[in-house]
Chains A and B, each alone.
Chain A
Amino acid sequence: MTNVLEVRNLSKSFGGVQAVKDVHFDLKEGEFLALIGPNGAGKTTCFNMLNGYLKPNAGSVSLRGQALIGHPPRKIWRMGVGRTFQITATFLSMTVVENVQMALISHHRRVYDLFSRATRLYVDEAMALLELVSMQDQAGRACSELAYGDLKRLELAIALAHEPALLLMDEPTAGMAPSERLALMALTAEIVAKGGVSVVFTEHDMDVVFAHAHRILVLNRGELIAEGTGSEIRTNPLVQEVYLGGGSVFEAESAHA
């Protein structure tokens, strides 16, 4: 399988703090990859370099052969990278379907159109995307009335509007109830399984990670310390040491499994 994303020697320091150091990984087509690590490990910094909010000190990122580094976030979006936010960001003064339509309008480069009616554009495409995340029944509701879990699903629909090759999800399940978490990630896994998009996500909830991720990368103090499948990561002594300070959670989980 071909690589969608190739990250090479990515490094970033803030003042004297080396937040990310020589991070190096590939993402295969159709892969669902988790990036985990304790707080302050450099996950968000990594993400922000991938999507253009931060400029790395060194290293390269290429998406299907195109270099991403140095482009502003909106350009990176156009190259085929979608994203969802840790704290949801949606257009609260619009309805659910209008939110998706905005992404479609931008994708079809109609943002400077002064004469059409925005709400009549790309309705079918928007509804199809909402159906994908099972939000079609709420299409006409004001976005400001949505429950948090629904906002997250809406963000997912928005992020898929331009048929991205890569989807970056920064702590997609933060602030959600446990049952909702698994449901959202199951939904994401389903979308990945349908093909066309590969996903990198960061996550604190290990249930979510082990249940769905095809492969896991572990960051600690800015460095990749391990990578592998769920069971490989569970039994990796280095991960157990630095990630949980030698705790026994992983072993307990292995015992369950």
Chain B
Amino acid sequence: MGFYFAQLLTGLANASSLFLIASGLSIIFGVTRIVNFAHGSFYMVGAYIAYTLVSLWSGSIFGFWVSVLLAAMVVGMIGLVIELTILRRIYHAPELFQLVATFGVVLIFQDATLAIWGAEDLLGPRAPGLNSAVRIMGEPIPEYDLALIAIGPVVLLAIWLLFHKTRWGVLVRAATQDREMVGALGVNQAWLFSAAFVLGSFLAGLGGALQIPREAVSLQMDLSIIGEAFVVVVIGGMGSVSGAFVAAVLISVLNAFAILIFPQISIVLPFVIMAIVLIFRPHGLFGKPGSEKGAPEEPDQPLALMDQKSAMVLMAALLVLAISPVFTADFTTVLMVDVMVATLFAVSLHFMMGVGGMVSFGHAAYFGVGAYGAAMAVKFLGFGMIPAMIFGPVCAVLAALFFGWFCVRLSGVYLAMLTLAAAQILWGVTFQWQEFTGGDDGILGVWPAKWASADKVYFYIAFVFCIGGIWALRRAAFSPFGYILRGIRDSQTRAEAIGIDTRFHQWMGFVLAGGFAGLAGVVFAFSKGSVFPDTLGIALSIDGLIMVLLGGIHALAGPILGAGAFVLIEDWVTRLDYWRFIFGAIILIVVLLAPDGIAGGIQRLLRGLKGGRA
């Protein structure tokens, strides 16, 4: 009995840390509608700064708590600087575009932290005055855990008072419910956004700083927490702080007990819980419909077929690509295969996001299922290359049929989060199911057939599959199916009123996008000769998002430009020291120069040139 009680207390202590970071994320989303990937970075930086400060004041109780608060305030200020210099300039960019910027910030912070504090994990001192354990029902409980258990509700109460008893808090709640209305009432939105961002960053920094006595400070802290923090925010309901608290307790306590029964479950449990909650409550436990939507967007321009000049340029580019293996070195040929794979992946994601209006944070799931499907077909079923390359996308289609059925019941950020949950669950299964998937070691020996094993021959196989896939998706975008899908995105009411089964149509769109992502995965698997769980991972899903958003979500050419730029720049910078910093900086520059993406930027440039000539 005592043991279980101790487990419960551990769960509650974890819940407090999780709540701090998630509440900040929820406030930022609620007010600004920014999906802030940099929130994990704020948490990490908070921990590092607190580590330095606590080490300076070692041993004093007062010093410890002052350090923690100071670290949180510094992070709050960092948040302010980021809001003022970057985010403020791109609030009017298409929805979710800000996410790209925050991802750039993540990369920059990773290398900045590395440069300042070094690569080694840092073990902070115990909290003075709370450094021993007390026995409760016979079990030793760290005193610091008890302090954390108290801090969670105290912070919740403080936020509640702030939101209900101050004018500012009322405005924040109003903005969470209806941002336009608050603007119409003459509230200075810029100031409100900055303040919300500072408060959110402060809470993330506080969460990080409070972790010092509990765990080593490391460079992995940012991405290890962000997934779970999103889950908590979504389960609680976007923008609901008390929802975040309930969700944090729910997840942490369930996790504390679940690992006793089935230790492997901890990496997927939060996502499973999120999936279940979203299926029954599409806006989270305390969320309201409408709290998911951002500012109304400018409608897209009608689609137009390429004019003759662009078509000629495209044909010329394709021709150059097709004959490139003849005059380039092998490593360039391999790089071109990577570009084609990434482009097909990005185009398939764009079909879902841009054409279908369904944002996915977990599109890599279908890429990975395709890759694993092919690899396992080779390994267990003895398939040859071509049959395996057909088998992979079929697996991806089946996975998309299953997960898509749930996802299309939701919309907006909630839909995105459910796709993320689906991807994480698939990733967890792949990672844990050692005997079947090879776990972390992956599946090796997925080589092309003998006749196709030369890099230059495989290039042409990849060319046929990828360019064929991209062409097919483009064709689909112009087909009645694609047009109706766009129509549903524009107005579900109208689509329903002209006899469309909107949910089924979106489901099929999801499946089509998943199938082509699977095709990209298959080409990828045979080009690398192996598959690993990271082909289904969050990182790849985010890469896909960056490609689509950076390229320009409103143009069919966007994902092609985005993927090309992404892979080529990444290939170039990863050879440099501190490449993350450089890559992040490049992303930020593109974001600030072209808030409508690369495609939009080029269009404006061309128009400018024409105007100049005239």
Which of B489-497, B555-563, B595-603 lies at the interface?
B489-497
For B481, the chain A residues whose CB sits under 8 A away are 111-114
Residue of A nearest to B487 (CB): A91
B478 touches A74 (CB 8 A): no
Task: Return the chain A residue nearest B488 by Cβ.
Answer: A91
CB pair B480–A113 under 8 Å, yes or no, is yes
CB-based contact B479/A118 at 8 Å: yes
Q: Is the CB of B497 within 8 A of A83?
A: yes
Interface presence of B475 (CB below 8 A): yes
Q: How far is the CA of A78 from the CA of B508 in the complex (A)?
A: 21
Q: Mark A106-126, 1 if CB is under 8 A from B, else 0.
A: 110011111111110100000
B493 engages A106 (CB within 8 Å): no
**With A93-B300, A94-B487, A144-B299 in contact, is A116–B500 under 8 Å at CB?**
no
Interface-lining segment among A95-103, A209-217, A232-240: A95-103
Which residues of B does A touch, CB under 8 Å? 298-303, 475-476, 478-484, 486-487, 489-491, 493-501, 505, 508
20 residue pairs bridging A and B, Cβ less than 8 Å apart:
A51-B497, A74-B496, A74-B499, A74-B500, A74-B501, A83-B497, A91-B486, A91-B494, A91-B495, A93-B300, A95-B302, A106-B484, A107-B498, A110-B480, A112-B508, A116-B480, A117-B478, A118-B478, A119-B483, A142-B299
Closest to A97 in B: B302
Chain B contact surface mostly: helix
Return the contact of B480 from the options A92, A105, A143 (Cβ within 8 A).
A105
Taking A91-B490, A112-B508, A118-B483 as contacts, is the C-beta distance between A161 and B299 under 8 angstroms? no
Write the nearest CB–CB distance from A84 to chain B, whole angstroms. 9
A77, B494: Cα distance in complex, Å: 11
Are A93 and B478 within 8 A (Cβ)? Answer: no
A156 CB to closest chain B CB (Å) equals 13
CB of A162 within 8 Å of the partner chain:
yes
Residue of A nearest to B493 (CB): A89
Interface status of A48 (Cβ within 8 A of chain B): no
B479 to A89, Cβ gap below 8 A? no
Of the residues B299, B475, B480, B508, contact of A121 by C-beta under 8 Å: B480
- CB neighbours (8 Å) of B299 from chain A are 92-93, 142-144
A188 sits at the interface (CB 8 A) = no
Q: Nearest chain-B residue to A118 (Cβ)?
A: B483
| Given known A89-B494, A93-B301, contact A107–B499 (CB-CB < 8 A) | yes
Chain A 46-83, CB-CB to B under 8 Å as 1, else 0, gives 00000100000000000000000000011101100001
Residue numbers of A with Cβ under 8 A of B are 51, 73-75, 77-78, 83, 85, 89-95, 98, 102-103, 105-107, 110-119, 121, 142-144, 158-159, 161-162
How many angstroms from the CA of A144 to the CA of B299 in the assembled complex?
Answer: 7
If the complex has contacts A73-B497, A92-B299, A162-B499, are A117 and B490 also in contact, measured as CB distance less than 8 A? no
What residues of A have a CB within 8 angstroms of the CB of B301 in the complex? Answer: 93, 142
B483:A105 contact, CB within 8 angstroms: yes
Is B491 touching A94 in the complex (CB atoms < 8 A)? no
Question: Residue of B at shortest CB range from A112?
Answer: B481
- The complex places the Cα of A112 from the Cα of B509 at a distance, in Å, of 10
Which 8 interchain pairs have the tightest Cβ spacing?
Answer: A92-B299, A93-B300, A118-B483, A89-B494, A77-B499, A144-B299, A91-B490, A89-B493
Chain B residue numbers with a CB within 8 Å of A92 are 299-300, 490-491
Q: Please, how many angstroms separate the alpha-carbon atoms of A92 and B357 in the complex?
A: 14
Q: Are A77's CB and B498's CB within 8 A?
A: yes
**Which residues from A are CB-within-8-Å of B493?**
85, 89
Verify B480–A111 contact, CB threshold 8 A.
yes
B479 CB contact (under 8 Å) in A73, A95, A107, A116: A116
Which of A75, A106, A142 is close to B498, meaning CB atoms less than 8 Å apart?
Answer: A106
Chain B residues with Cβ below 8 Å from A119 are 303, 478, 483
Residue of chain A at shortest CB distance from B502: A74
Closest-CB distance, A71 to chain B (whole angstroms)? 11
A residues within 8 A CB of B498? Answer: 77, 102-103, 106-107, 158, 161-162
Q: Is the CB of B499 within 8 A of A106?
A: yes
Using CB atoms, name the residue of chain B closest to A104. Answer: B498
**Chain A nearest CB, measured from B596 CB (Å):** 15
Cα(A236)–Cα(B475), bound, Å: 61
Q: Contacts A93-B486, A105-B483, A116-B480 hold; do A142 and B302 have CB atoms under 8 A apart?
A: yes
Query: What is the bound-complex CA distance between A162 and B500, given in angstroms?
Result: 13
Across-interface contacts of A105 in B (CB, < 8 A): 480, 483-484
Option from A74, A83, A94 in Cβ contact (under 8 Å) with B302: A94
Nearest-CB distance from A87 to chain B (Å)?
Answer: 9
B contact residues around A83 at 8 Å (CB): 497
